[in-house]
């Protein structure tokens, strides 16, 4: 079964609407996808509705929550969440507002560096969704300040760049708890570069973490094997996905472009059934 458990839309920092992402998934022959926008579940309902036109495609309601750790950040994916949960929606709204404030500060810092990015254009690129750094990078690219999107992060708005700005975030433990409270399955996203990974895992497993994302954009066989072994050691399931945003570039994997073993879906669904969550279908 072809699947992709890590997709972004205009509800956060993706280029394409939920409807378009569903169409792309259907065109590539996928049978299961998860919509996992940053700090937002606003794209889930539209994706579920769009999937009605593409049977047998199924949509898993998801989210990706950005969290902070010392000298870095950790992302928590949530699958089979109750996207109508008021606590979840209120917390995500607060985080999105923090993203907006941060984006304005980044634009101001860029101006101090002589890079005049138009705030109105950044908002247009977000298409009413959660504003993120990729929108600022896209505006920089359009205005000729950079030659490719990754350059914006490497030179200006990455964690150690001169225009970087911190923002309000949850802790990894807080994000895992939030997903679990919303009836979801928390999974640690793209974990290969996390320092003291197993120490962090012990903390998160105690709060309900169920899996690791091992089949990820850019991860080679050695990295995948390393993560699978860690997951087996700690009794975690494995997931994977493209982390598709739609802005292109040499490092982006297309929708469904990361091969994921069928057992990943089987284990994810089995856990969802155990927790009384259900796959959103037609």
Q: Which two tokens stand for residue 70?
A: 């010392």
278 — pLDDT class (breaks 50, 70, 90) = very low
Cβ contacts of residue 212 below 8 Å, gap of 6+?
187, 188, 191, 201, 227, 230, 231, 236, 237, 238, 239
Looking at residue 276, what is its pLDDT? 52
Mean pLDDT of 64-84: 91
99 — pLDDT class (breaks 50, 70, 90) = confident
Displacement of CA 114 from its chain's centroid (Å)? 31
Beta-bridge partners for 170: 67
pTM of this structure: 0.85
Ranges of H-type helices in the chain: 18-27, 44-51, 86-112, 119-126, 133-142, 149-152, 172-181, 197-207, 221-234, 262-274
Domain edges within the chain = 3-84+171-274, 92-157
Length of the chain: 282
Confirm or reject CATH 3.20.20.140 for domain 3-84+171-274, answering yes or no. Answer: yes
User: How much is the mean pLDDT over the chain?
Assistant: 92
Q: How far apart are the first and last CA of the chain?
A: 18
Looking at residue 169, what is its pLDDT? 81
Mean pLDDT of 214-225: 96
105 — pLDDT class (breaks 50, 70, 90) = very high
280 — pLDDT class (breaks 50, 70, 90) = very low
More confident residue, 22 or 68: 22
Looking at residue 251, what is its pLDDT? 77
How many Cβ atoms are within 10 Å of 221's Cβ, its own excluded?
A: 7
Mean pLDDT of 134-153: 93
User: Of 4-13, 75-84, 92-101, 173-182, which gets the smallest average pLDDT?
Assistant: 92-101
163 — pLDDT class (breaks 50, 70, 90) = very high
Q: Which of 203, 211, 204, 206 is nearest to 241 (CA)?
A: 211
User: Of 11-15, 58-62, 232-236, 257-261, which gets the smallest average pLDDT?
Assistant: 11-15
Looking at residue 127, what is its pLDDT? 80
> Domain 92-157's class?
mainly alpha
Looking at residue 247, what is its pLDDT? 82
Dist CA 12 CA 22 (whole Å): 15
More confident residue, 205 or 167: 205
């Amino acid at each position: 079964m072809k699947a992709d458990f890590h997709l972004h839309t205009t509800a956060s920092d993706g280029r394409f609407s939920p409807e378009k992402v569903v169409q792309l998934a259907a065109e590539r022959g996928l049978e299961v996808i998860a919509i996992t926008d940053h700090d937002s579940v606003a794209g889930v309902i539209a994706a579920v509705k769009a999937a009605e036109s593409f049977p047998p495609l199924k949509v898993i309601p998801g989210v990706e929550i950005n969290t902070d750790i010392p000298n870095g950040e950790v992302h928590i994916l949530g699958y089979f969440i109750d996207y109508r949960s008021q606590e979840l929606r209120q917390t995500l709204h607060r985080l999105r507002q923090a993203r907006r404030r941060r984006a304005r500060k980044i634009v101001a810092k860029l101006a101090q560096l002589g890079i005049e990015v138009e705030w109105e254009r950044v908002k247009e690129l977000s298409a009413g969704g959660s504003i993120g750094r990729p929108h600022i990078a896209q505006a920089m690219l359009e205005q000729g300040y950079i030659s490719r999107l990754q350059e914006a992060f490497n030179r200006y708005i990455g964690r150690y760049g001169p225009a970087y700005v911190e923002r309000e975030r949850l802790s990894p433990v807080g994000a895992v708890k939030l997903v679990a409270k919303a009836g979801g399955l928390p999974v640690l996203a793209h974990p290969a570069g996390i320092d003291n990974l197993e120490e962090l895992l012990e903390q998160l497993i105690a709060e309900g973490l169920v899996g690791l994302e091992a089949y990820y954009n850019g991860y080679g066989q050695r990295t995948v094997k390393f993560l699978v072994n860690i997951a087996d050691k700690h009794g975690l399931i494995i997931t994977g996905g493209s982390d598709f945003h739609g802005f292109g570039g040499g490092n982006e994997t297309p929708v469904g472009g990361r091969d994921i073993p069928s057992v990943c879906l089987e284990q994810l669904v089995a856990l969802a059934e155990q927790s009384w969550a259900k796959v959103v279908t037609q």
